[in-house]
Structure 1
Amino acid sequence: LVGTFGESFLLVAGTLLAIILLLAQGGGYVGGAAVAANAARLGRLPSFLSDDRIGIALIWGVSAVLIPIIREVVVVESYYAFGFVSAFVITSTTVTFVRRDVLIERGIQPGSGEARSLRFAGMRGMFASYFMLIVLVTQKTNALPAILLAAASITLLQIYTANGGFRRKAAAEEVLPEFPPGTRKPIYAMGIERAHDQARQRGVVTALEELIESGALAKFNVGPDRIRRLVAYLYNIDPLFFIEHGQHEVHDRMEEPNLALEATYRAAYDQKPEIARRIEDCSHFGIFTFIHNYHLNWVAEELGRDAKVVQQAMVDILFPLTPHEQIWPEYCKFEPKYQPEPVWQFSRQRYLWAKDQWPNLSGRITTIWTLQDFGLLSKEIDVRTVISVANGRQYKVVNIHMAEDSEGMTVDKGNVDSVEDTDVDGHIPPTVLTEEDEDDADYPV
């Protein structure tokens, strides 16, 4: 047939047959990629395989190379059959011996009719799959050497990747690596460490996204992307996990592949209050920085108005909902310092917020300070400032007693019932979205 039309025809037919075989095994590619992605999440394969699209492309590429080399359809189908039946064996066995806690988590009561039906379906699958596996082993023995070699190679690769070598490290699954904030490319000693750290990252991302969706962070009046960037820096989160979380919003979360990783995920997810607190600390840093930079404009020590007096007044007016005994000691611990850009890009927004709000809120007390500077008012005077919060639905009054010095200064915060009680002059007080305002649905994020 060399040099004839028949040779060309066979070449075209063989090429078409190879393409048909590649396309026909689509289910095998998807299943194999899913298994590879699961192994990658366990830390047993390289992390890039956690994207099943890459796994599909890799398996398809290997198949495209091997099918023309093997050339025999029967042999190719034997390999595919072993892969399919092996997956069937694993799945049916898992369904049959599913744990009680997994059933309960899925809303299935152990011992119920649904649980018995599920177990019966698994047993039927086990019977069929094990029977097919026996037939394959006895009838397709010629395919076993290549399959065993490939299985051994993949197993060795998983052991090496998971443990960072072929020697198993004791208690490796309990080790969660720690990296300083802002670590861009963490280096893991073993795949299991990587798996636990990625489970931790997924837990933090889920907790943060729930905080954003619930509106708990709307009080900061900062866009969610800035908050994500801040948390990504503080907790060493790969931005890809935010994208991954967004892709999974339409369906339930994919659970971690084993109990140890699920525990790591849950531990990170349970840090939700701490995450919110750290975000608030960064917010306070921005506001405190504004107070630190601008309080000197109103200091007049010859009138008994030293830096401490001005700072206390600014802190209490900008934080009307927080008791003086709580917010003032926090400010006293504040130290201005350089912040990395991922942190400062968030704190800067709170700095600008305080800068914009201060003229609106401080009109009364700064007027009194100005009159004192001209000698028109005494040093000892009571200042009553009323601030509207919760979009005008609540009114907070800040009473500041100015004395000869900071030692005699007192601050008292309270509530007023209605707008008629807010101002002795009948003026409606300024409205502000405060740092601690929990009722902020009417404000943009």
Structure 2
Amino acid sequence: MTSTAATPPPGPSRGRIIAARTLVVLGVLLVIVSLLSNWVKREALDKSTFRSTSQELIAHPAIQQQLAQTMVEQLYANVDVSQQLEQKLPPNLQALAGPISGLSRELIDRAANELLQRPRVQTAFVTAASLSQSQVVNVLEGNTSRLQTTGGDVVLDLRPLVVRLGDRFGFLGNVSQQLPPDAGRIVILQSDELDTAQNLTQILKDVADWIWIPALLAWAAALWLVRGRRRKEIRAIGIGLIVGGIAILVIRRVAGGYLVDNLTASDTVRPAVRAFWTILSDGLAAAAWVVILLGVIGTLGAWLTGEGARAVSARRWLGPWMRNTGAAWAVFAVVLLLLVWALPLDRFLIAAIFVVLGAAGFEIARRQIVREYEAEGSPERRPLSVPWGKEKPPATEGSVDELERLAKLRSEDLLTEDEYAAAKGRLLPRAGA
């Protein structure tokens, strides 16, 4: 005698599935925009972040070498070293002023490199860089009146460092009086580029604080549309985050290559420019790796709660431990705290979202594992299946009764469609045995 199992509700239509997948892709694209906009906002507009970045920049040997070369060039371009030496030498040696001036270039080069390694000089560079960053902020906010003394350009003023370097050599005289006001200025942003920079950065600044909200709403709508196959959409979101994070790393690499190879005229400057871009974009790379890790966690969670044979075996193995709610949550809390500590989650809101989503996903997975474990009558823990092995077929007693019980659980929405199909697939071989 056979009994008719309750028919599970139909799955979502093809149109809903396509709409959900479109929303998943849209959410991933918004995450990419969010990462880029927040990086620009943090590096360009946040004073404390920029100051920390400046300290890293001046501590890099390639950047120190390039700055030292620039300082020496500015010194020789604005101070007649040969003439200053000629005035200091006795009459019978004044003819040697030119050769000595040439020989002293190597000595001044070495002194410039040593000078940039001193903490006080590095602090002076950070101060100059922070002043340039303030100019950038003024430009982006439309206040260009403070740029009148620089001809409307945003500049990095190295004049104080050039003066410090010249003062180390007494034979150069009063270097500060000999240097013109614009000596040692490096143009960062020209006046004819300000409008483009204003428009682009203002857009990114405006969307940085809220662009992640539409991404979450898009994913929530996608999950709402496909009841019965939400696990697959979560897996799609996880894979999308992995792809999005990799895309950010590719963008960083391509942009850095373009900056170094196409926008740098001299080969001698390229090591410094490469180091500059690497340090400046470290925050973007860290955010990309966080997104990749979140995608991996989401994908693994979707796999673990899926209907695959390996996932089913893993859930059976985890069942006894997950049934102990306190112990399971204690272990999860330790792992979560380690992740929060290790990942560069520099904003409280991002860390809070990470914790809430992680806790919600863990509880959903734990309840499914416990539900299936109890539905099978709390069997003994079985070894995990391996790719080269086969699971031993379970006992064949009571297969029909178990099918009826599973159908009842499905009709009461205590099991999802995927869970019901997976459990039925495990029992059908017994029924035919």
Relative to its length, the structure with more helix (as a share) is 2
Question: Could you tell me the TM-score, scaled by structure 1's length?
Answer: 0.24
Question: Could you tell me the TM-score, scaled by structure 2's length?
Answer: 0.24
